[in-house]
């Protein structure tokens, strides 16, 4: 536990990058995505599945180069993101043309890593680049890591009933409830202090986003169990690899982004005057 806490404190300065956003946040998410993708592909390799690393790294580079250019020009259009997704699926399919060495699962693993990790994580950048409500990007961290921290300590103190023992033996129902409560409390506090007109939305995001973040954590655990590995890596002492640390963000970031653009902006519910 001590090592886990020290490692978490060592990552606190990264919050400055999150605060400033823009290019620096884009670079941070790109680096984290690269490391997590490598770890995820390594997990597949451990079970004798062979995703194409070159396609993965190349597609990641294209996505962030494209976004950096659009950011510099001040005109990002999501149609290019759809084009990137289409190209990713096509590239994964073409990888299978090497019939003697590549199996369909190798092709699917290549594409899956790009969508599950690179595309999902990219939603952090999409929230940061929203013309309005970009400050709600903080709810991604408060929901994902708030849930994790409160669930961890609640489970340690009063956890009795296993939540999903086949995937994560240490997680408990009591811990999950504590995680949701902590997420709601942190998001409500953030909304009350910084975005009072959007307080209700902050609470809703904290309430719904918390179980979504837990599903992200459990999904990553399911992959690990099938891959036959304990952690995705050992880069972060006490936490494992980068993938082990951002697994809950991968589900939370898309939820926050689509909640903002669909519920808050498209339907114009609760927008400040």
User: What's the pLDDT score for residue 118?
Assistant: 98
Q: In whole angstroms, what is the distance from residue 150 CA to residue 155 CA?
A: 8
Does pLDDT of 122 surpass 80? Answer: yes
- Return the SS3 of 122: helix
Q: How confident is the model at residue 145 (pLDDT cuts 50, 70, 90)?
A: very high
User: What's the pLDDT score for residue 267?
Assistant: 72
Q: Return the axis-axis angle of helices 120-128 and 242-258, rounded to nearest 10°.
A: 50
Arithmetic mean of pLDDT, 163-181? 91
Lowest mean pLDDT among 47-51, 72-76, 250-254: 72-76
Alpha-carbon distance values, 189 to 198, 203, 242 (Å): 11, 9, 28
Alpha-carbon distance values, 138 to 12, 182, 229, 244 (Å): 14, 15, 31, 20
User: What's the pLDDT score for residue 14?
Assistant: 83
Check if the beta carbon of residue 108 is closer than 8 Å to that of residue 41.
Answer: no
Q: Among the ranges 1-15, 94-108, 223-237, which has the highest mean pLDDT value?
A: 94-108
Percent of the chain with pLDDT strictly greater than 70: 92
Q: In whole angstroms, what is the distance from residue 45 CA to residue 39 CA?
A: 10
Sign of the torsion angle spanned by Cα atoms 24, 29, 32, 34: negative
Does pLDDT of 151 surpass 50? Answer: yes
């Amino acid at each position: 536990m001590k090592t886990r806490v020290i490692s978490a404190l060592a990552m606190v300065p990264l919050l400055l990058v999150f605060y400033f956003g823009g290019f620096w946040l884009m670079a941070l998410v790109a680096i984290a995505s690269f490391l997590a993708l490598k770890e995820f592909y390594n997990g597949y390799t451990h079970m004798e599945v062979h995703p194409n690393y070159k396609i993965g790294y190349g597609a990641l580079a294209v996505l962030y180069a494209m976004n950096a250019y659009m950011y510099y020009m001040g005109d990002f259009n999501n149609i290019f993101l759809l084009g990137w997704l289409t190209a990713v699926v096509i590239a994964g399919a073409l990888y299978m043309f090497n019939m003697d060495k590549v199996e369909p699962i190798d092709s699917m693993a290549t594409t899956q890593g790009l969508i599950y990790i690179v595309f999902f994580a990219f939603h952090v950048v999409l929230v940061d680049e929203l013309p309005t409500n970009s400050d709600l990007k903080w709810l991604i961290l408060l929901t994902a890591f708030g849930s994790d921290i409160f669930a961890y300590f609640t489970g340690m103190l009063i956890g009795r009933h296993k939540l999903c023992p086949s995937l994560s033996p240490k997680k408990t129902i009591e811990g999950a409830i504590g995680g949701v409560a902590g997420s709601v409390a942190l998001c409500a506090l953030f909304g009350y202090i910084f975005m009072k007109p959007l307080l209700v939305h902050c609470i809703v995001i904290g309430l719904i986003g918390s179980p979504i973040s837990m599903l992200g954590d459990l999904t990553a655990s399911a992959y690990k169990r099938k891959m036959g590995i304990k952690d995705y890596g050992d880069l972060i002492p006490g936490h494992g690899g980068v993938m082990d640390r951002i697994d809950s963000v991968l589900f939370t970031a898309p939820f926050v982004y689509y909640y903002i653009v669909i519920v808050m902006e498209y339907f114009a519910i609760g927008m400040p005057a």
